[in-house]
Chains A and B, each alone.
Chain A
Amino acid sequence: MKLKLAFTGLAAICLFVGAGMALSPASIAQNAQGGTKPDGKTLKPAASFQSITNQQQRSVALFQEAGKVIQHPRCVNCHPATDRPLQGATMHPHQPPVFRGDGGMGMPGMQCTTCHSPQNTPVVGQADTIKSIPGNPAWHLAPIEMAWVGKSLGQICQQIKDPARNGGKSMDQIVEHMAHDELVGWGWDPGAGREPVPGTQAEFGELIKAWVDTGAACPAS
């Protein structure tokens, strides 16, 4: 409860890179032709983009696939464009009203840790729509320069590459952050009553690494 983690990364909740990790059989939906189809719950593997021969186009396509995670409410809700986080699949303003405060940890007397624990916490209350309070040891908002709300995927892409807006990270550090940051990983384990981001953190990390390896090209919009 005394965690006051410095925000050291391209913040918040969603990115990862790992190499050579096998895909879960359940992570790919098979269609009748034996191919894959998007279902909102899976990510296409990075290797499947090899068929795009133009490297820049392949890089853009990889980031667009990763964007299924990046632009998910689980991630965007804590990259607000104001000092108030969003909440839920509908991305409504956080209730109760809470505000950024120092380090994105909340206001004095009403910090994130007033309600959020180091782990997701099931509740036994009477609200059918609230199954758990989300939690993580590093729970906090992304810095304002990392705001994603209201931005296109292309704009977010440029933002992620900009050291002035990504916590001073190199691209290798971006890959590492996406791959291993614990709070990023929360997106795949958001607690009861909350939809996780698509795929796995390993698959997502592979997409980000492949995107960087192909020149980190950004979508036009």
Chain B
Amino acid sequence: MVSFTLNGQQKEFDGDPDTPLLWVIRDAEKLTGTKYGCGVAQCGACTVHLDGMPRRSCVTPISMVDGSEVITVEGVSGKEADAVKTAWAGLDVPQCGYCQSGQVMSAVALLQMVPKPTDADIDGAMAGNICRCATYHRIRAAIHNAANSMEG
């Protein structure tokens, strides 16, 4: 039995301990904001926060999550999340939107660690989140806008 918190709620999972966290989130907990993209940690669509750090849920066995705190796009909160939400809407960042859950989770984590990121910081943190609509310029601009909005 694996016990963990998901968006602040206590959860247990008693299935195969090798089950990827992604499928526990989507299939068992029915939170479908976190997306399956590649299944091999190459695209970033499945990014969640595990104990406060960004983590690809598709390559995270649920056994590894025992005792940990998982936050998904449905539950992410705080000033960085608020700033990202506002900035994302302000620039119409998403196009098809499939990757955006992962983009948002990575962006929030970056801002939590680096409140005023440079372009290089953004490239370093976001390079693993692929967008097939190539909204990268808007993503970068929105992260800067979010950072600026938190300064006041």
- Give residues in A with beta carbon < 8 Å to B: 1-2, 95-99, 101, 107-111, 113-115, 117-118, 121-127, 130, 133
A contact residues around B64 at 8 Å (CB) = 1, 117-118
B contact residues around A99 at 8 Å (CB) = 124
User: A118 → chain B, closest Cβ, in Å?
Assistant: 8
| 7 shortest interchain CB distances as A-B pairs | A125-B39, A109-B125, A107-B124, A109-B110, A96-B128, A125-B40, A115-B41
A contact residues around B128 at 8 Å (CB) = 96-98, 110, 114-115
- Give residues in B with beta carbon < 8 Å to A: 18, 20, 38-42, 44, 47, 50-51, 53-56, 58-61, 64, 68, 106, 109-110, 113-114, 121, 124-128, 130
A121 to B63, CA, bound (A): 11
Kindly count the residue-residue contacts between A and B in the assembled complex, taking CB atoms under 8 Å apart.
93
A contact residues around B68 at 8 Å (CB) = 1
B contact residues around A122 at 8 Å (CB) = 18
A164 to B33, CA, bound (A): 49
Point out the residue from A109, A117, A126 that lies within 8 Å of B126, measured CB to CB: A109
Given A1-B68, A2-B51, A117-B64; A107-B40 close (CB under 8 Å): no
